[in-house]
Structure 1
Amino acid sequence: MPDRADTISTKAVITAAEPQLFVADIKASCDFFAGKLGFAVAFTYGEPPFYAQVGRDGARINLRCVAQPVIDQALRDREQLLSASLTVATAEEIEALFREFRAAGVTFFQTLKREPWGARDFIIKDPDGNLLLFAGPAE
């Protein structure tokens, strides 16, 4: 019988996810992600730009310009409809990230808190009202 290591998998492996946020102004969104959240602008596309990607460490977020909001803001806030979830590996990192964003003047929808399922997280609101969850382990 062949060893498991010798077996070749035919199943595709998904290596990353890139959420797409709908925004009103690509430049303003890129400025927010770079200036407030420490992301780098990977690219912008179009003349004028209508699409962009920002990244920080292993996270990538695509930005798509739309003429009007896709989701009702009151519904988004009431139901806490998240646009993206980003994670860190340790409790120390989630605390450090929260402090970094607070010092940068980021608007928090929810400040850092411990969740019943063993995570610590916070939610920020970008200039277009998109809710972004940042999470890590509680301990």
Structure 2
Amino acid sequence: MSAKKILPDIYSVGVVDWNVRNFHGRTYTTKRGSTYNAYLIIDEKIALVDTVYGPFRDELIENIGKIVPVEKIDYVIANHVEIDHSGALPAIMKLCPKAKVLGTQKCKEGLYKYYYSNWDFQVVHTGDKIKLGKRTLTFIEAPMIHWP
């Protein structure tokens, strides 16, 4: 899946895993693969919303690079910690070490357990806002809507 423009300055940069058949053990199955969704918001500040499963990090980086140099990312928003959403985070943070990771306290704890990172992390709560330029992102805590 290549980068796709959704709206002016908002792109889908996720990937398709045509070979995945099971999610969460065997809880969910698919015969046609699935997507690992990630989004890029371009403004005065650049935000990446989620990453993808680690084995697909190069494709994510390539998709982002078609729009903007990866190292220009200012914020990485981690919606939750599961590796199908966060697996490429170490590679992204290596390419843009000045980026700030944004997520809930549980997200911070989970990412640390997975990656033992010392990334610049900002804990966000419901109602917190990040101004990117002409766009402002408002955070909503939704624990266990899918996973931490």
Greater relative contact order, per chain length (Cα 8 Å cut-off, separation 6+): 1
Greater radius of gyration (CA): 1
TM-score over 0.5 (shorter chain): no
- TM-score w.r.t. structure 2 length? 0.28
- TM-score w.r.t. structure 1 length? 0.29
